[in-house]
Structure 1
Amino acid sequence: MKTIIHKATDRGYANHGWLQANHSFSFAQFYNPDKIQFGALRVLNDDVIAPSMGFSTHPHDNMEIITIPLKGTLKHRDSMGNTWETIEAGEVQVMSAGSGLMHSEMNAKTDEYLSLFQIWILPNKQNVEPRYDQQFFKAEDRKGQLQTLVSSIDNQEEGLKIHQDAKISRIDLDEASTFTYTSLSEKHGTYVMNITGEVSIDNNVLESRDAIGVSNTTEFSIQSITPSQLLFIEVPM
């Protein structure tokens, strides 16, 4: 098994006033040649957006974009005809940029900060027709068990779909519990973001917002030290 540790304090950071951004991988003005991507995972941004602020209309193409609000409400509009769709904490949004689209994202609240993860995954098909979807996921369905949020458009697993043989999932663990994660294949790697809490993976202790990339294995074990919430992003390497 191969592992790589990304501590929360080693992420790229940008303070734009209205946006506090933490970058797990090279993005915008943050560049680290050792942090370009993890397999097909290109971006994992941990953003906090001020009330009524956000990203004005901008283009994307040939990227699978997944947004997970953690607190607050996001609103989204795009050139596919979606007009200010709201995405609440508990929901997940996917957008296959494909052959190209324009969109904007804003904090829908005037009195509350928005906290979210935005994930970019390189697709396995180019120039597909752009598509958009969102879905609500119950927190109780991931207590002590894996909850699949996103998977390949080519399989029948529940959850949202993207054009890549990838899987995004979450689990909430009680204190002093153990969970074994099973990979799709040994050719996949799994990037684990510890959202909150403290866990141990392969004798590496991860605190809140620390991450570990695990590859060259079909399974690995997690021991929770405190109550913890974990995000798994499994991608082809």
Structure 2
Amino acid sequence: MSKKIIHKANTRGRANHGWLDSHHTFSFAQYYNPERMGFGLLRVLNDDVVAPGMGFGTHPHDNMEIISIPLKGSLAHRDSTGTQEVIKTDEVQIMSAGSGITHSEFNGSKTEPVNFLQIWVFPKERDIQPRYGQKAYKPEDRVNRLQTVVSPEKDGEALWINQDAWFTMGTLKNGFSEEYALHKPGNGLYAFVIDGEVEIDGEKLGKRDGMGISEADKVQIKASGDAELLLMEIPMK
């Protein structure tokens, strides 16, 4: 029997600093909820809106896999590996902080806000060489199908992550139905509804709702309206 946990959008933590309006699915910064310390090795799921021309100054990370997914607008990135990039909608960025890295993130526009998801996953191997990856994905390749954007396969089409984790995204039309088979025994699946309405294993979820399922081999997904969905398959320990 699978285990389920549901996090409705309106139960998330929130921090509005003016230049930054952030919603936290899990405990982060000033938001602390002992029952929301993550899902398996998924530690952070932040839904950030950054005002035009503003951003996060240079700060350090280590031993964390950090994924950024712009939903609207563009995100400028700079780090201590010498990388300087702009991540746009339909692109995904991953940074393996490894043994230690410093970086900054800013809104890439002086006129429009940027909305992006910032996701942290504990790594499989500690203290690896810090690395950066970024890739553009064709939005038409995820219409009514699940497009893998992050995976542990170094030579695959998706961005490599230092963990046995798979991230997939789908632009689903009303009535779409598919079974998601987990890649690895012991993994769980965390679903985050970017927009629209979906039914996951019979549970109805709306915009920005999240749901974790563990102790399952397969998960049934159905779009009960047009929807944008992110699935994160994560080791539970």
Alignment TM-score, normalising by the size of structure 2: 0.97
Q: Distance in 1 between matches of 2:61 and 2:70?
A: 20
1:41 equivalenced with 2:42 (yes/no): yes
Structure 1, unmatched stretches of 5+, are none
Q: Partner of 2:228 in structure 1?
A: 229
Hey, what's the Cα distance between the residues in 1 that align with 2:199 and 2:100? 41
Q: Which whole-Å CA distance do the structure 2 matches of 1:206 and 1:38 have between them?
A: 18
Alignment TM-score, normalising by the size of structure 1:
0.97
Matching of residue 217 in structure 1 with residue 226 in structure 2 = no
Q: Residue in 1 aligned with 2:81? A: 80
2:138 is aligned with 1:138: yes
Instruction: Give the deviation of 1:199 after TM superposition.
Output: 1.2
Distance 1:71 1:156 in 2: 29
Q: What residue number does 1:176 align with?
A: 175
* Deviation of 1:202 (Å): 2.2
CA RMSD of aligned residues (A): 0.9
1:28 aligns with 2:25: no
Secondary structure of 1:9's partner?
helix
Partner residue in 1 for 2:89: 89
Secondary structure of 1:119's partner? strand
Alignment-mate amino acid for residue 210 of structure 1: D
Distance in structure 2 (CA, Å) of the matches to 1:79 and 1:201: 40
Partner residue of 2:71?
70
- Uncovered stretches (5+) of structure 2, i.e. residues with no partner: none
Distance, in Å, in 2 between the alignment partners of 1:35 and 1:108 is 31
* 1:188-218 C-alpha deviation (Å, 9 max, x unpaired): 0010001111111122110100011011111
Question: Given that residues 74 and 87 in structure 1 are in contact (C-alpha distance below 8 angstroms), is that contact kept between their aligned partners in structure 2?
Answer: yes
Partner letter of residue 62 of structure 2? D
Moved over 2 A (4+): none
**CA positional deviation for 1:29:** 0.3
Matched, 1:18 2:15: no
Could you tell me how far 1:52 is from its partner in structure 2? 0.4
* Percent of residue pairs bearing the same amino acid type: 51
Deviations 1:7-55 (A, max 9, x none): 0000000100000000010000000111001011000000000000000
What is the CA–CA distance in structure 2 between the aligned matches of 1:206 and 1:55, rounded to whole Å?
31
Tell me the SS of whatever aligns to 2:10: helix
Q: Residue by residue, what CA displacement relative to the aligned partner does 1:84-108 show, whole Å, maximum 9, x if unpaired?
A: x111111101100000011000001
Alignment check: 8 A CA contact 1:186 1:215 kept? no
- CA drift of 1:177 comes to 1.9
Deviations 1:35-76 (A, max 9, x none): 001011000000000000000000000000000001101101
Query: Aligned ranges for residues 190-205 of structure 1 at < 5 Å?
Result: 190-205=189-204
Using the alignment, how far apart are the partners of 1:229 and 1:182 within structure 2?
A: 19
Write the letter of the residue equivalent to 1:102.
T
C-alpha displacement at 1:78, in angstroms? 0.7
Aligned residue identity for 1:31: Y
